[in-house]
Amino acid sequence: MPDDVFKALADPNRRTILDELTERDGQTLFEICARLSTKHGLGLSRQAISQHLAVLEAAGLIKTRREGRYKFHDLITQPLEQIVDRWLKPNASEPEK
């Protein structure tokens, strides 16, 4: 499991972005900016949010897709599932004693 996932999750703004994508997947940068501002009172610039999204994408926590002139951001849960499987379910396949 790459350290990039943990570094990406270390920032509270990035965790808030992931929370928003969990609530409503497939948002544009504009939508994410608006929701962070109105729901959470975060005064981050579009450029700052774009940089956070780049870190999340590099860590494999989101992916981007283009449709026409719009770029959508989708949550990828696999890296988080690996964390759960590693530490919270290490003996899930073994019967309890």
User: In 3-state terms, what secondary structure has residue 64?
Assistant: strand
Are 14 and 67 in contact, with CB atoms under 8 Å apart?
no
Q: Residue 23's pLDDT band (boundaries 50, 70, 90)?
A: very high
pLDDT at 89: 79
Secondary structure letter of residue 26 according to DSSP: S
Asked if residue 60 has pLDDT above 80, the reply is: yes
**Ordered domains of the chain (ranges, CATH):** 3-87 (1.10.10.10)
| pTM for this model (two decimals) | 0.85
d(CA 23, CA 29): 15
Which pLDDT belongs to residue 84? Answer: 85
